[in-house]
Structure 1
Amino acid sequence: MNWLPLYFKPQGQSVLVFGSGDVATRKVRFLQRTEFPITVISIDETAKDRFTEFESVDVIHSTGLDSLSSQLFENVIFAVAASEDHSADVFFAQQARQAGIPVHVAHSIDDSDFLLPAVIDRGPISVAVSSAGQHPTLTRLVRNRIESVLPARLEALAELALRYKDKVREKLSTNNARRAFWERQLEGRVADLVYSGRDEDAERLLLESLDSIASSTQGVGEVYLVGAGPGDPDLLSFRALRLIRQADVVLFDRLVSPQILNLVRQDADMIDVGKRRSHHTMQQESINELLAKLAKQGKRVLRLKGGDPFIFGRGGEEIETLSEHGVPFQVVPGITAAAGCASYSGIPLTHRDHAQSVRFVTGHLKNNSSELDWPSLVAEQQTLVFYMGLVALPQIAEGLVNQGMSQDMPVAVISRGTLPDQRVLISSLSRVAADVTAAELKAPTIIIIGTVVNLHEKLGWQS
């Protein structure tokens, strides 16, 4: 590490910025996020007009660099040279150093004593990112990535924690106890309430948790019912990612991709409850009860389901059981397989020229049959999407044709959608069953039926 990250505290000292162009304006805008008084020095007579958008910024016009008074550098903590004239910036930097002031020269690492990093600001929490001036674009990308995973209301959570810091110290005597308490609150239900804008509920729960721990009683945990989407981890929501990383125990299905499971905390307990056709690792009723049991042990339980938990995911049955047991829970939607697979295949599920409606249908019913309301499925300007229909595909095709759907109706069968090894097979109702067998497509698959499938050849951006 060639540069040491430091934070300066404003204590009545000011900052000098030399320049009046776009670069100087950006530096002033950045520095205004702090409480430092800012003075701009410029040899441009019109400089004051450029800085009218900023409050409490003094602009001093100088007739030339040689005329700069040594008094300008008094009570200054650091200076920034950003005139876009390199020789002028270097000369200004030399004068600043002679006065004992460290200086940053824009676009010149070799002439700088320090760098101004990219900053993520969440009130009392801030993160500085720098590539030591070597690659600003990479710095910006890293900053954006960090920004994307920090909740927007992190500042409110930090302020809540600061208000109760002393009270927690009074109640919990050891560092280990305090650390464990804060980890649980800042990654658990209290944080979730703050992020949802329920500050009063969060404060009340924090106090209840503190009293509970201080009296050595075990509180009830919580269950997170989270949709993992169709497979690509980049399609996870910010909320889903946060809950995945804070869970104590995870119950996951077979449709959750390994890439997403790798995001789980290494010390979390992993329980595979995946179900395959005619083979259930654990019966649904047992899964429901296990969720309640683990939460009652005070654990943060993640129920991770492929796609969206409320679309053919039996999520409703699971939270019914939790409600009956009085276990707190929250539901995080995921991108359902139909939407994800269709998007990654270039097949819009609705299109003004093809379909004004879309129907999601399960090809694997509760009674283990594929008896469907066939007449209602055959309609003009409609897209059908079948989940779990690979085994019943011959019966699905036959049933639709028998109700009058054209044998030439386009069909797309998408295997392992959104993942690097995604496969898309385009066929027709009359040929699709044989084509799938010949191509040896494997589950999980989504089946899309309708004229929108014809758009795949033109819009298939992943191919």
Structure 2
Amino acid sequence: MSAADTPALFPLFVDLRHRTVLVVGAGEVARRKVEALLEAGAHVRVGAPQVVDATLAGWVGDGRVTHLPGVFVERWLDEAWLVVAATGDHAVNRAVAAAAQARRIWANVVDDAALSAFQVPARVRRGPLQIAVSSGGGAPMVARLVREDLEARYDDAYGALAALLDRHRTRIRARWPQTDVRRRAISELLDGPVHDLLRRRRTLAAERAFEAWLHCTAATHGAVHLVGAGAGDAGLLTLRGLRALNQADVILHDRLVDPGVLELARRDAERIDVGKLPGADATTQARIHALMIEHARAGRRVVRLKGGDAFVFGRGGEELEALRDAGIDYEVVPGITAALACAAHAGVPLTHRDHAQSVRLITAHCRESLDTLDWAALARERQTLAVYMGVGLLETLQARLLAHGMAEATPFALIENGGRARQRTVVGTLRDLAQRANEHQVRAPALLILGSVAALATRLHWYGDAPLTEPLGAREAA
């Protein structure tokens, strides 16, 4: 069947409870069809000389499925509402389809759109909510690809939301008897906190929010979602983070958030840049706390969007404490932190059984923070150091590690703009760390990795240009 011949099918969800469905064939393909039919509550008959599939044989054995032994005969269609031909034998399948058509029984022949009166769609199921995808039988792999995308996009909370509305359907119709008014009210519910509470498994809170909506008593507070945007590539944003951005009324974002992430957000959301630039005027942490609380108390859904992960040198804990003290509801959505993202994009495994059995994440964004570190422990071998915000203090880092016994030959990888189009990786050894960074004019944001795993960057790199292994002057002379 060509694309031009593919029919425009009429989508239909059928109630098969206590209705007879015939499946001709008893192999693996037939078993998959039978399983879906049993979930729908159908009385399933399987016609085949013998039941080949072990699972299907078990269902026959425990009485869930009736076996009709032998080769297909037309009387198998007696009392059937639907029939599925899944034998792998074209002649048998064609005979089943012809007999079904003569009796005006809907028939599906697996992988044969021309013989089928209906198609079984690729399906996403979330409780009572079902999403069906069909290509009319002409391109089933495309339908499956779309289904996989929908599986990731729609989580179990959608099923819980559909079940909640179904349980209270009579009350909703009584509260808003006019269709257009009811539709607007339900749109407000779907745009409110109930769905989010169900996603967080806060069933009782969701029920209370539902009752407030049903009685038109609005909640007094919004909520804040603390979302890690990942490091570098916008594709590192999690699905849960994307959902939060799609529902946000206000987004407070840092300077390290990739512009591509902001482009994924709800178009009419208010965007507020609260980024901090070293040595420049910036929004204070206290002001960020005040903005989150102000907008949440106004009933808005706020996303506090941070590069990397909010709980790894992102002051996320301080922000949650402020929200908790103010009585603001919140959720944390983890992000892929810079150590993971930059190392992966540079081809540096943070752990490796031949090199490092532990990883230490440290920050060096000011001299005071350096004074709190256990330098003797950091200088030990067979571990990896991932240093955040250390570009401005590389000389101090280098001197202290050497003074506490780290070998001069310890490899380093300094990754600038990790995961972005402008990524650069400078590699070398601890003895020339500061010099090499200065020669190549490395600027923030950059992550420093120290340890023998860093040497693997020269062999395992895959993203962007190859690591810079020579002094800048040597490259220019060449």
Fold shared by both chains (TM-score > 0.5): yes
In the TM superposition, 1:54-93 aligns within 5 A as: 54=59, 55-62=63-70, 64-65=71-72, 67-69=73-75, 72-93=76-97
Aligned CA distance change for structure 1 residues 415 and 135 (closer, same or farther; 3 Å): farther
1:2-29 per-residue CA deviation (whole Å, 9 max, x = no partner) reads: 3332211226532221222332222222
- Aligned partner of 1:41 in structure 2 is 47
- Aligned-partner SS, 1:110: helix
* C-alpha separation in 1, matches of 2:51 and 2:374: 76
- Aligned-partner SS, 1:335: coil
- Aligned partner of 2:127 in structure 1 is 123
* C-alpha separation in 2, matches of 1:366 and 1:157: 51
* C-alpha separation in 2, matches of 1:440 and 1:60: 78
- Aligned-partner SS, 1:103: strand
Aligned CA distance change for structure 1 residues 50 and 411 (closer, same or farther; 3 Å): closer
In the TM superposition, 1:194-213 aligns within 5 A as: 194-211=198-215
In the TM superposition, 1:92-111 aligns within 5 A as: 92-111=96-115
Aligned CA distance change for structure 1 residues 380 and 160 (closer, same or farther; 3 Å): same
The percent of aligned pairs where both chains have the same amino acid is 38
- Aligned partner of 1:338 in structure 2 is 339
- Aligned partner of 2:405 in structure 1 is 404
- Aligned-partner SS, 1:330: strand
- Aligned-partner SS, 2:391: coil
**Superposition deviation, residue 374 in structure 1:** 6.8
Contact (CA 8 Å) 1:274, 1:280: kept in 2 or not? no
Partner amino acid, structure 2, of 1:56: R
- Aligned partner of 1:25 in structure 2 is 31
Aligned CA distance change for structure 1 residues 106 and 410 (closer, same or farther; 3 Å): same
RMSD: 2.8
1:195-226 per-residue CA deviation (whole Å, 9 max, x = no partner) reads: 33332232123223444xx25x5521011111
Aligned CA distance change for structure 1 residues 177 and 98 (closer, same or farther; 3 Å): closer
| Gaps in structure 1 of 5+ consecutive residues | none
Alignment coverage as a number of residue pairs: 454
* C-alpha separation in 1, matches of 2:433 and 2:105: 75
**Superposition deviation, residue 267 in structure 1:** 2.0
* C-alpha separation in 1, matches of 2:47 and 2:406: 77
1:427-463 per-residue CA deviation (whole Å, 9 max, x = no partner) reads: 2223333433444444321111111212334444546
- Aligned partner of 1:53 in structure 2 is 58
- Aligned partner of 1:263 in structure 2 is 264
- Aligned-partner SS, 1:251: strand
**Superposition deviation, residue 345 in structure 1:** 2.6
* C-alpha separation in 2, matches of 1:111 and 1:375: 74
**Superposition deviation, residue 39 in structure 1:** 1.7
* C-alpha separation in 2, matches of 1:229 and 1:435: 28
* C-alpha separation in 2, matches of 1:278 and 1:326: 34
- Aligned partner of 1:301 in structure 2 is 302
In the TM superposition, 1:248-397 aligns within 5 A as: 248-365=249-366, 373=373, 375-376=375-376, 377-397=378-398
Partner amino acid, structure 2, of 1:261: L
* C-alpha separation in 1, matches of 2:39 and 2:17: 15
Aligned CA distance change for structure 1 residues 80 and 431 (closer, same or farther; 3 Å): same
- Aligned-partner SS, 2:431: coil
Aligned CA distance change for structure 1 residues 133 and 279 (closer, same or farther; 3 Å): farther
Aligned CA distance change for structure 1 residues 25 and 207 (closer, same or farther; 3 Å): same
Contact (CA 8 Å) 1:231, 1:260: kept in 2 or not? no
User: Which is worse superposed, 244-253 or 396-405?
Assistant: 396-405
- Aligned partner of 2:22 in structure 1 is 16
- Aligned partner of 1:6 in structure 2 is 12
**Superposition deviation, residue 236 in structure 1:** 3.2
User: Which is worse superposed, 141-150 or 191-200?
Assistant: 191-200
Question: How high is the TM-score relative to the length of structure 1?
Answer: 0.88
**Superposition deviation, residue 121 in structure 1:** 1.1
- Aligned-partner SS, 1:52: helix
Aligned CA distance change for structure 1 residues 276 and 187 (closer, same or farther; 3 Å): same
| Gaps in structure 2 of 5+ consecutive residues | 1-6, 465-478
Partner amino acid, structure 2, of 1:32: L
- Aligned partner of 1:149 in structure 2 is 153
User: Which is worse superposed, 107-116 or 277-286?
Assistant: 277-286
Partner amino acid, structure 2, of 1:243: A
Partner amino acid, structure 1, of 2:455: N
Aligned CA distance change for structure 1 residues 285 and 166 (closer, same or farther; 3 Å): same
- Aligned-partner SS, 2:58: coil
* C-alpha separation in 1, matches of 2:293 and 2:181: 26
- Aligned-partner SS, 2:114: coil
* C-alpha separation in 2, matches of 1:247 and 1:412: 37
* C-alpha separation in 1, matches of 2:146 and 2:68: 36
Contact (CA 8 Å) 1:21, 1:84: kept in 2 or not? no
Aligned CA distance change for structure 1 residues 131 and 445 (closer, same or farther; 3 Å): farther
* C-alpha separation in 1, matches of 2:67 and 2:325: 67
1:165-215 per-residue CA deviation (whole Å, 9 max, x = no partner) reads: 33344445766765565445445543333233332232123223444xx25
**Superposition deviation, residue 158 in structure 1:** 2.0
* C-alpha separation in 2, matches of 1:99 and 1:175: 40
- Aligned-partner SS, 2:355: coil
Partner amino acid, structure 1, of 2:394: L
* C-alpha separation in 2, matches of 1:325 and 1:86: 69
User: Which is worse superposed, 176-185 or 283-292?
Assistant: 176-185
Contact (CA 8 Å) 2:28, 2:53: kept in 1 or not? no
- Aligned partner of 2:472 in structure 1 is none
Partner amino acid, structure 2, of 1:120: V
- Aligned partner of 1:220 in structure 2 is 221
